[in-house]
Structure 1
């Protein structure tokens, strides 16, 4: 990746991981009043969405278990989870592993056009920029939810 995109992704991912690691495991699966998901879901969602954006659309590869899309895709909810759901610590490890794979993407690829535009984005670099913004948005949600839970505005 080019230096600017690489640096932005590196900062955002390191902050996201730091935020996720700071969440007490006892509150990760608590759904605060007024929120439609849990911190656990947001962590899995960022992992899954980044995998789709950085490897699925352009490379046609998905390095995560297929069940992750059923658990963490947009519109899913922990209320619908059944069976084996990966624990938060496993998701954090996978975020770190994913970051290692993202760093291997050649800079020249950022200029390549997507087969078809995605939400108005036409190049792989634009898609990478969207992944960065998406991750930052969900990091903010995690921080909000953590404060609300810690202040007592939660439900199980």
Structure 2
């Protein structure tokens, strides 16, 4: 199994767990912001989708598989306090797996040929789509941990 395929399988497993979580947690909990925090579970999940799309597709000069509105709602620096409308949980559920399934097709077709390098806040420079996929897996694991903390605080 290539590194690319292995990294993809990690992302798919992570997204499947996030989907299971969002389908089993009450909507009130999904939208509640824990005391002393800025975001909620819905934002955490939407942010993971948005970051993966920006880092893999936008940086490769390719169209993202999310809307501009979705991206603006969940990009870094946003929070539920800045939302113009309440995000649709069904859209988030759909995008969790749609974007990862589309990524598989795009990896197989070889569309990732150029990349605009950038540095992550942790001091690592991403120079290609495989590194972006690896960074997405790290990033989503971080946010999954935050989500689990939110659940303990909110239940």
TM-score (norm 2): 0.84
Give per-residue Cα distances to partners, 1:118-138, cap 9 Å, x unaligned: 431112111110011111111
Q: Which residue of 1 aligns with 2:13?
A: 11
Question: Which structure is higher in RCO with an 8 Å CA cutoff and minimum separation 6?
Answer: 1
1:1-156 to 2 correspondences below 5 Å: 2-82=4-84, 84-106=85-107, 114-119=115-120, 120-150=125-155
**Conserved 8 A contact 1:110-1:126:** no
Post-superposition Cα deviations, 1:25-52, rounded to whole Å, max 9, x if no partner, equal 1211111012111111111111111111
Q: Which deviates the most, 86-95 or 110-119?
A: 110-119
**Equivalents in 2 of 1:50, 1:17: separation in Å?**
16
Distance in 1 of aligned mates of 2:9 and 2:111:
14
Q: CA deviation at 1:116?
A: 3.0
* Cα drift, residue 117 of structure 1: 3.7
1:3–1:130 CA distance, 2 compared to 1 (3 A): same
Q: Is the strand fraction higher in 1 or 2? A: 1
* Misfit runs of 4+, over 6 Å: none
Secondary structure of residue in 1 paired with 2:116: strand
Distance in 2 (alpha carbons) for counterparts of 1:113 and 1:80: 33
- What displacement does 1:96 show? 1.3
Gaps in structure 2 of 5+ consecutive residues: none
TM-score (norm 1): 0.83
